[in-house]
Structures are given as structure tokens and as C-alpha cells.
Structure 1
Amino acid sequence: MNIKKQVTMGIMSAALGIMLIVGGTFAFFSDSVTSNNTFAAGTLELGIDKPQLINIKNIKPGDSMIRDFELQNNGTLDIQKVVLETDYKVIDANGNNTEDFGDHILVEFLYNVNNFDEVIFKTTLAELKNMSPEAINKNIFYPELGDEGLPAGETHDFIVKFVFIENGKDQNQFQGDALELEWTFTAYQKDGEPK
């Protein structure tokens, strides 16, 4: 046998040996099992029973109006805190306002229906509009909801009193004016926890 044939046979023998070694590594027992898992996120859904809290005409300085509303947790997750964003637009009927009508509307958040004189917090609409969300939660919602917040599936009643402040001065600039108030309630979840 010549050298060329011997080298070729050697290479082929080595290749065959390698294939047997590689192929042989799969010759063992095995078993497998599959685990099917699910991560389903909960829902955070804040509701209110009255989309329009107040719609009143012909108010005058000294008038007061009490309204109640219910915040609802319609989701599956507990609500830790609620914040309120206030915005309003003044319709200046005669174009003569030198003051903000919102400075003349007092808002009092009350404890409950039976105790209208027990005020949680009071401020003007103008001040409420400029408050931070944390200050609103601390002064308005936390005294009512506490550390528990609003658990899933539960509701909480709130009472609010609006007063057109009688300041003993000339308030004629507000005759015929209107104030369109928009309140946006935002709910935040509780902190995550081990499950």
C-alpha cells in the first residue's frame, strides 16, 4: 500500500472514530417535563357614581351647596391613594373681571352626611387648582381612606360643600358669570409585594 492510500485510510478511520464518539454521546436515558405558567395582571379601575357633581344657576354671594359623591374601586387591585386635579374656566359675561371667580368659591370637604359641620379640609377653588397631588391626598383623601386606601370592590362616600364667599365687598363683577369646574380623580395602586 502506498503512502497516499495509508494516509487516506488513516483520515477515514479517524473520521469514523470521531462520528462514533459524537454519535455515542447521545446514547443515554433522558426524560423531560413541561411547566406551563401564567402571569395575569390585575386591574385598577376607579369609578364615580356621579359624572356631574354640581350644576346650579343663579347663585349669589353667601349661597352654599352640599353635594355627595361615591368613589368606587371597580378593579381587582386595591387602591392605595387617590389624588384630585382641579381645573376650571371662568366665563366672564361682561368682560369686567379684575379678580378670579375661583378665589370666591370656597370648597369644604366634609366627614359625612350626619356631620356637615365637621370639615376635613377647606380651600378656595383657585388654591385647590394649584395644590400638589400629594398635598391633596394628605389633606382630603387620606383622612377618609387612611392606610387601607380603597380595597378592590369597595366604595367610599364623600361630601363636599361649595360656598360663594360673601366677602362684604363689591362683587358685582361676577354678575352673570359662570365657572365650569372639572375634577379629575386619579387612583394609584398599592406597592408590589411577594406572592
Structure 2
Amino acid sequence: MNLKKKLGMGIASAALGISLVGGGTVAYFSDTATQASTFASGTLDLNVDPTTLVNVGNLKPGDWTNKTFKLINNGSLDIKKVKLQTSYTVTKNNGNSVDPALADKYADQIMVDFLVNKGDDGKGNDIILTKSLKQLKGMTPDQLAQEFDKEWLLIFPYYVLRDGISAGTGKESVDDFKVKFRFNDTGSPQNDLQDLKLNLTWTFEGVQEDGEER
């Protein structure tokens, strides 16, 4: 057999081998499986009732008013704790502006006592913490939360600004929030604080529970 024929047979053999190998790569068994997942987030829905807490006029030093309102968790997730942010504006009763220093002086004499029930009968209140509106405005919500976590933790183990509100549709999803507002009587003339109007805004923020394995 001459060299030309031998080379031709070699090429043909190689082509057949490639064909066999190629045919082996497309003929195989297979199977598939699919899986679907859903990640649905819950809701935090904190509400305040009533939305207007105090509307009192003609105040004088020594006056006070006790107010109770409700913080309501209408969401599907527990609220770990509630943070409180304070802001205010001060004007004359006719709406005219006042000097910022006078505004802060007035706010520093409007005191807030944060209250809890004395006992299971719900009669009477104990004071957890007292701050002026000026002090509250100057605190971040986390700084105020730390105040409640200090000496009051053992005396009052439950408080909404520290322990939050459960989700649900029953009474566990509603928490009474009690405060006492006082126009502080310093015992000295406070004539410069006459004819003033303070508009207070409290912003409550519900914070979720820590993440957990689901």
C-alpha cells in the first residue's frame, strides 16, 4: 500500500473516531427538579390615639394636666420598643414670633412626668422620669431610651418606651401611655413667660424585634 493510501485511511479512521466521540456527548440521561421560594415581609404599623393630646390655654405657673393616650400596634410584627422624638415651636398667642432664647426658657418650664400605674387596680400613678420639654428636644430617641433603662429597670420592669408592643388584635397590641404636663412654679416671678403658646410635636417610632431564624 502506498503512502498516499495509508494517509487516506488514517484520516478516515481519525474522522470516524471524532464522530464516535461527538456522538457520545449528545446521548445521555438527564432529569430536572425545580423549587420555588417566597419571602413576604411583615408590617410595623404604630398608631397614636388620640392624635391631638393636649390643647390647654390660659396656663399659669403651678398648673398641670394628666393625659392618657394609646399606642397601638396594627401591624403583623411585634414592636421591640418605641422611640420618642420631641420638637416644638413657641410663639405669642397671636402667632407672632418670639426670641429663641425666650422660647427655650418657656419650654424649660413645661415639665413632663412619665407615669405608670401604681398597682393592678390602676389607681394612682408613679413617676418614672421627669424632663422638661427643652430637655426632651435636646435628646435623641436613643438617649431618652437609655434614661428609662437606668434606675427604673428593676422598679418598673415593663414600660412601652422600653419594652414595646406585641402584634395582634387583642389588648396586648395596645398600650396606655400616661404623662403629666406641668407648668413649673419656680417660686420667683415668671412674668416674661406670659402670653406664650407652645406647639408640641411628639413623634413615636416603633422598632422591630431582632432578626431570628425562620
- Whether TM exceeds 0.5 here: the answer is yes
Query: Smaller-chain TM-score range?
Result: 0.7 to 0.9
- Structure-2 separation of matches of 1:140 and 1:69: 19
Q: CA deviation at 1:194?
A: 0.9
- Structure-2 separation of matches of 1:28 and 1:162: 81
Q: Which position in structure 2 is the counterpart of 1:83?
A: 83
Aligned counterpart for 2:209 among listed residues 172, 190, 195: 190
Q: Which position in structure 2 is the counterpart of 1:100?
A: 105
Question: Percent same amino acid among aligned pairs?
Answer: 41
Alignment of 1:31 onto 2:50: no
8 Å contact kept, 2:84–2:205: yes
Q: Which position in structure 1 is the counterpart of 2:116?
A: 111
Equivalent residue letter for 1:171: Q
Alignment of 1:129 onto 2:137: yes
Q: CA deviation at 1:187?
A: 1.3
Aligned counterpart for 1:160 among listed residues 179, 183, 187: 179
Q: Which position in structure 2 is the counterpart of 1:17?
A: 17
The alignment covers a number of residue pairs equal to 193
> SS of 2:143's equivalent?
helix
Alignment of 1:40 onto 2:40: yes
Q: CA deviation at 1:2?
A: 8.0
- Structure-2 separation of matches of 1:6 and 1:149: 88
For residues 25-72 of structure 1, what are the alpha-carbon distances to aligned partners after superposition, in whole Å with 9 as ceiling and x for unaligned? 332222212111111111112111111111111111111011111111
> SS of 1:25's equivalent?
helix
- Structure-1 separation of matches of 2:82 and 2:115: 16
Q: CA deviation at 1:140?
A: 4.6
Equivalent residue letter for 1:48: V
- Structure-2 separation of matches of 1:193 and 1:35: 23
Aligned counterpart for 2:159 among listed residues 134, 144, 163: 144
Q: CA deviation at 1:144?
A: 1.0
Q: CA deviation at 1:152?
A: 1.2
- Structure-2 separation of matches of 1:8 and 1:178: 108
Q: CA RMSD in A?
A: 2.8
* Structure 2 spans left out of the alignment, 5+ residues: none
> SS of 1:54's equivalent?
coil
Q: CA deviation at 1:135?
A: 3.0
* Structure 1 spans left out of the alignment, 5+ residues: none
> SS of 2:108's equivalent?
helix
- Structure-2 separation of matches of 1:123 and 1:107: 5
> SS of 2:187's equivalent?
coil
- Structure-2 separation of matches of 1:51 and 1:159: 14
